[in-house]
Amino acid sequence: MSIDTIDNIASVSLKEAEADRDSFAQQLGKSFEEYGFAVLADHGIPDELIGRAEEKAKEFFALPEETKRKYALGSGGARGYTPFGIETAKGAKAHDLKEFWHVGRELSEGHSFREVMADNVWPSEVPGFKETFLELYDTFDRTGVTVLKAIARYLGIDEDYFTDTVRDGNSVLRLLHYPPQQEATGEHIRAGAHEDINTITLLLGAEEAGLELKTRDGRWIPVSPKPGELVINIGDMLQRLTNGKLRSTPHRVVNPAPDRASNARYSMPFFLHFRPDFTIEALPGTVAEGEEPKWPPISSHDYLMERLREIKLA
């Protein structure tokens, strides 16, 4: 398998995974263990769907502010629109310079998770919005399970271990808009340093410069995928489940260089979550003999709510 590196962050092709699943899993796993990040090419999400989704997102964010705010529902920002200047990184005072839209899982009537997973809302002003983003959501969901199979292989557990843990999980597709910057932003940046809450994140649209991760030795380094590639990172839930073996790494989106300040930035992260009723506790074999787990058991839903309160979304 041919492997490129970005400061030793693995860049792997999903096409090569079937040819050599062990090598694919080792490259991904080692990168997640050291950096918490990897880059995935040939991920199977169609270019046509990505392009259509980007256009629909741009159409929505170009709507008048009062129109967009019709879809600001509160409820932890879990569905619909979250206006500019709301989300604030844990421990930070300055809010992020972004607005976003959330698409969640569509659940059947009477599903037990409906108590904690809200219904989606859809902007009537953008034709095809619902159909496009439900299709993208499902595609992200399938790709995420494929990545989790490789992670399970790296951890030496059953390859299908994660399939049930994320079935009907509270995963969220976020459409992000970072507006152009024509004036000084002071202490505010596009996204303050944070770790993701969820299991893994799959990110489209990181080609525009700005995404950086923090290495173990405290350096901030850029994450620079090629056009169309996915950036994947470990979230806090999977870090807890593996007792810290896989890293949930601080990352941020810094403000653009002066020659790019007039450009908006758009991206689409998919935050893949465990089922709300899944208990996150250290996997067997991840706690050294005679030691205690680094974190106590907690349900996926309780952990999510705890973290949403910390970032001012609940």
Residue 240 has what pLDDT? 97
Residue 192 has what pLDDT? 77
Taking Cα atoms as reference points, which of 229, 224, 202 lies closest to residue 146?
202
CB-based contacts of 256, cutoff 8 Å, min separation 6:
181, 208, 209, 210, 263, 265
Amino acid at 295: W
Q: Between the CA of residue 248 and those of 31, 33, 74, 184, what are the distances in Å? A: 12, 9, 27, 31
Integer Cα distance of 259 and 267 in angstroms = 20
Reported residue count of the chain is 314
Taking Cα atoms as reference points, which of 90, 137, 84, 121 lies closest to residue 264?
84
Alpha helices in 35-107 (DSSP H): 47-61, 65-69
pTM recorded for the entire structure: 0.92
Residue 2 has what pLDDT? 38
Kindly give the pairing relationship between strand 37-41 and strand 9-13: parallel
Residue 190 has what pLDDT? 74
Residue whose token pair is 């790019």: 260
Residue 308 has what pLDDT? 84
Amino acid at 15: K
Residue 1 has what pLDDT? 40
Integer Cα distance of 176 and 160 in angstroms = 31
Kindly give the pairing relationship between strand 211-214 and strand 4-6: unpaired
Residue 3 has what pLDDT? 41
Structure-token pair, residue 63:
């709507």
pLDDT < 70 positions in the chain:
1-7, 74-77, 87-89, 92, 94, 182-186, 189, 258-259, 261, 314
Q: What is the DSSP string of 287-302?
A: S-TT---SS--EEHHH
| pLDDT tens digit sequence for 112-155 | 999 999 999 999 999 999 999 999 999 999 999 999 999 999 99
Residue whose token pair is 């790709």: 143
